[in-house]
Amino acid sequence: MRIIRDYQFAEKSDRGASVAIGNFDGVHLGHQYVIDLARKEADALGAPLGIMTFEPHPREYFAPKSPPFRLMGSEARAHRLEKVGVERLYELSFNDTLSALTPREFAQDVIVDGLGLKHVVVGADFCFGQGRAGSADDLTALGKELGFGVTIAPLLSDDVGEVSSTAIRQALGDGRPQDAARMLGHLHRIEGEVIRGDQRGRDLGFPTANMSIAGLHPPKFGVYVVEIEILTGPHKGTYGGAASMGTRPMFGENIPNLESFIFDFKGDIYGEHLSVALIDYLRPEEVFDSLEALITQMNADCDKAREILAAR
Evaluate if residue 273 carries a pLDDT over 80.
yes
| pLDDT interval class at 250 (50, 70, 90) | confident
For the stretch 95-113, pLDDT in tens is: 999 999 999 999 999 999 9
Q: What is the DSSP string of 62-99?
A: H-TTSPP-BSS-HHHHHHHHHHTT--EEEEEE--HHHH
Task: Give the pLDDT confidence score for residue 248 in this predicted structure.
Answer: 81
Q: What's the mean pLDDT in 81-97?
A: 97
Helices (runs of H) and strands (runs of E) counted in the chain: 10, 14
Q: What's the mean pLDDT in 191-195?
A: 95
**How many Å apart are CA 89 and CA 70, to the nearest integer?**
18
Task: Give the pLDDT confidence score for residue 159 in this predicted structure.
Answer: 61
Q: What's the mean pLDDT in 182-194?
A: 96
Q: What's the mean pLDDT in 68-73?
A: 95
Question: Do strands 88-93 and 134-135 pair parallel, antiparallel, or not at all (unpaired)?
Answer: unpaired
**How many Å apart are CA 75 and CA 122, to the nearest integer?**
22
Task: Give the pLDDT confidence score for residue 75 in this predicted structure.
Answer: 93
Please report the domains of the chain, with CATH numbers, ordered by start residue.
2-153 (3.40.50.620), 187-311 (2.40.30.30)
Report which of 91, 111, 152, 82 is spatially closest to residue 16, judged by C-alpha positions: 111
Evaluate if residue 191 carries a pLDDT over 80.
yes
Those residues whose C-beta lies under 8 Å from the C-beta of residue 28, and which sit 6 or more positions away, are 163, 164, 165, 168, 183, 184, 185
Helix H or strand E encompassing 42: helix 29-45
For the stretch 2-43, pLDDT in tens is: 999 999 999 999 999 999 999 999 999 999 999 999 999 999
Phi-psi region of 175 (alpha: psi -120 to 50; beta: other; left: phi over 0): left
Active site residue 259: yes
Q: Cα 75 to the chain's mean position, in Å?
A: 8
Evaluate if residue 116 carries a pLDDT over 70.
yes
**How many Å apart are CA 189 and CA 277, to the nearest integer?**
4
Task: Give the pLDDT confidence score for residue 23 in this predicted structure.
Answer: 95
Evaluate if residue 203 carries a pLDDT over 70.
no
Q: What's the mean pLDDT in 160-173?
A: 88
pTM of the model: 0.90
For the stretch 117-141, pLDDT in tens is: 999 999 999 999 999 999 999 999 9
Q: At 36, is the secondary structure helix, strand, or coil?
A: helix
Q: At 253, is the secondary structure helix, strand, or coil?
A: coil
Burial class of residue 141 in the structure, from the number of CB atoms within 10 Å of its CB (0-12 exposed, 13-18 middle, 19+ buried):
middle
| pLDDT interval class at 230 (50, 70, 90) | very high
pLDDT mean across residues, the chain: 94
Selecting among 259, 285, 292, 307, the annotated active-site residue is: 259
Evaluate if residue 201 carries a pLDDT over 80.
no
Q: Cα 52 to the chain's mean position, in Å?
A: 15
Task: Give the pLDDT confidence score for residue 221 in this predicted structure.
Answer: 97
